[in-house]
């Protein structure tokens, strides 16, 4: 049974429709329709700023079995435009759970749809690629559906979207109380997840978070200098952020250690002369195999991205360090001879496996030398 009986519709820009039932707020929401293959971690997905501007469909059959709690949020709000699943349970079973997924979405005024054919949806997106769409309880049939399709076609494409400028902090702040003698890191917030900040501080680092619009002068010349820099994850097209790439190039020139994740990986690549491109349907889930090309070690990784660095565009100063074993795309690189490196996947593992914790330890070690 759906948590609500009102009819709802997921409509794609090519006219393909997936009928279902409303599972949260009523109304219409637009976004790029993507899918996530994780079986758990839906609260982290809902609140991950990297999902801004997207309608997320979960491939697992039941989403919401353990409810929503007060600890697992990755930001201060639900970030997805709308949420889709085969089934959102009306109840949950977990001692940490406080409310259902439907209740959380309804409170945030976010539409959701269940009882749709998620298998058909994913096969469609894998064949034709991620595309614009809408979830609606208002435009179900006839002329209303045709009007909705025209509205979808007027929505901006994800390519060229500078969404990272919308999701992060507006002012700088210290993530945790300062610890004497701990290395100091400036983290640039393009849509940073709380679990990344927790991983950095757990590695013995003091972290100050800066807006995505922070200038190189702000980051390089504070009252007390930083020992290194971190570039966060975030939504949208990295190529739409040329000023951020120019700022990062100056951070690299400072000679201090630097670590980037996801969008930070893409922006560092642009700053150092590589190019990026949009993936057909992206990588979103917690079971993506990534190979360390230096050691041959394979990690199972958590991922959430729709763009990637073109490995063929890496300049000679960069060394490819990690490759995706599903499609061969670049999953990591480093600046030769320097403590500057980045990965495309999410080593903070929230949600996901903890195979890549060592990357935070590696970054901390470079700062403590």
16 is written with which tokens? 């393909």
User: Residues with Cβ < 8 Å from 225, sequence gap 6 or more?
Assistant: 184
> Given pLDDT bands bounded at 50, 70 and 90, which one contains residue 55?
very high
Check residue 321 and give its pLDDT: 98
Q: If we measure between CA atoms, which residue out of 40, 51, 355, 361 comes closest to residue 191?
A: 51
pLDDT (tens digit per residue) in 60-107: 999 999 999 999 999 999 999 999 999 999 999 999 999 999 999 999
113 is written with which tokens? 């749809």
- Mean per-residue pLDDT for 166-176? 96
Query: By mean pLDDT, which of 3-12, 212-221, 337-346 is the weakest?
Result: 3-12
Alpha-carbon Rg for the chain in angstroms: 21
Check residue 142 and give its pLDDT: 87
- Mean per-residue pLDDT for 328-342? 98
- Mean per-residue pLDDT for 299-311? 98
What's phi and psi for 145, nearest 5 deg? -65, -40
For the chain, give every residue range classified as CATH 3.40.50.880: 164-368
Check residue 369 and give its pLDDT: 76
| Residue 126: how many other CB atoms lie within 10 Å | 12
The one-character DSSP state at 360 is H
- Mean per-residue pLDDT for 224-228? 96
Residue 322 near residue 330, CB atoms below 8 Å: yes
Task: Please provide the average confidence, as pLDDT, over all residues in the chain.
Answer: 96
The one-character DSSP state at 240 is G
> Given pLDDT bands bounded at 50, 70 and 90, which one contains residue 12?
very high
Check residue 368 and give its pLDDT: 85
3: pLDDT strictly greater than 60:
no
Whole-angstrom distance, CA of residue 231 vs CA of residue 259:
6
Residue 97 near residue 133, CB atoms below 8 Å: no
Q: Is 348 a catalytic residue?
A: yes
**How buried is 15 (Cβ within 10 angstroms: 0-12 exposed, 13-18 middle, 19+ buried)?**
exposed
For the chain, give every residue range classified as CATH 3.50.30.20: 7-153
342: pLDDT strictly greater than 70:
yes
- Mean per-residue pLDDT for 329-352? 97
Q: Cα–Cα distances in Å, from 259 out to 46, 77, 207, 272, 351? A: 25, 26, 13, 14, 20
Check residue 4 and give its pLDDT: 45
What residues does 22 pair with on adjacent strands?
113
Q: Span 7-153: which CATH code?
A: 3.50.30.20
User: Residues with Cβ < 8 Å from 176, sequence gap 6 or more?
Assistant: 201, 206, 207
Check residue 310 and give its pLDDT: 98
> Given pLDDT bands bounded at 50, 70 and 90, which one contains residue 1?
very low
- Name the active-site residue from 32, 44, 262, 305: 262
- Mean per-residue pLDDT for 109-113? 98
Whole-angstrom distance, CA of residue 285 vs CA of residue 305:
10
User: Residues with Cβ < 8 Å from 188, sequence gap 6 or more?
Assistant: 210, 211, 212, 214, 219, 229, 230, 231, 232, 244, 247, 264
pTM of the model: 0.96
- Name the active-site residue from 44, 74, 331, 348: 348
Q: Is 84 a catalytic residue?
A: no
Q: Is 330 a catalytic residue?
A: no
Query: By mean pLDDT, which of 4-13, 156-165, 337-346 is the weakest?
Result: 4-13
Q: Cα–Cα distances in Å, from 88 out to 7, 21, 96? A: 15, 10, 18
- 164-368 CATH fold: Rossmann fold (3.40.50)
Whole-angstrom distance, CA of residue 300 vs CA of residue 309:
20
């Amino acid at each position: 049974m759906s948590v609500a009986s009102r009819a709802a519709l997921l409509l794609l820009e090519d006219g393909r429709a997936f009928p279902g039932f409303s599972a949260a707020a009523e109304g219409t929401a637009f976004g790029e329709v993507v899918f996530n293959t994780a079986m758990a971690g839906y609260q982290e997905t809902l609140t991950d700023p990297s999902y801004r501007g997207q309608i997320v469909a979960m491939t697992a059959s039941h989403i919401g079995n353990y409810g929503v709690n007060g600890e697992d949020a990755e930001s201060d709000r639900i970030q997805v435009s709308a949420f889709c699943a085969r089934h959102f349970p009306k109840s949950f079973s977990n001692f940490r759970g406080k409310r259902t997924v439907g209740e959380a979405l309804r409170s945030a005024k976010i539409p959701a749809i269940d009882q749709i054919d998620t298998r058909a949806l994913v096969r469609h997106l894998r064949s034709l690629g991620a595309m614009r769409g809408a979830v609606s309880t208002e435009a179900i049939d006839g002329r209303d559906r045709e009007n909705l399709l025209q509205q979808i076609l007027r929505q901006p494409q994800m390519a060229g979207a500078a969404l990272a400028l919308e999701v992060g902090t507006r002012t700088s702040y210290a993530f945790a109380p300062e610890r004497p003698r701990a290395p100091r890191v400036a983290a640039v917030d393009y849509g940073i997840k709380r679990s990344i900040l927790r991983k950095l501080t757990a590695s013995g680092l003091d972290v100050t978070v800066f807006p995505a619009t922070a200038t190189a002068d702000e980051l390089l010349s504070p009252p007390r200098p930083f020992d290194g820099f971190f570039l966060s994850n975030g939504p949208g097209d990295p190529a739409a952020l040329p000023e951020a790439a120019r700022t990062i190039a100056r951070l690299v020139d400072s000679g201090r250690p630097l670590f980037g994740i996801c969008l930070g990986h893409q922006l560092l690549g642009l700053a150092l002369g590589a190019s990026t491109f949009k993936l057909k349907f992206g990588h979103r889930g917690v079971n993506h195999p990534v190979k360390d090309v230096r050691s041959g070690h394979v990690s199972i990784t958590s991922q959430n991205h729709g763009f990637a660095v073109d490995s063929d565009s890496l300049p000679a100063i960069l060394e490819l360090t990690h490759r995706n074993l599903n499609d061969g795309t670049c999953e990591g690189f480093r600046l030769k001879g320097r403590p500057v490196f980045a990965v495309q996947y999410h080593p903070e593992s929230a949600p996901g496996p903890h195979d890549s914790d060592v990357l935070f330890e590696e970054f901390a070690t470079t700062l403590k030398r």
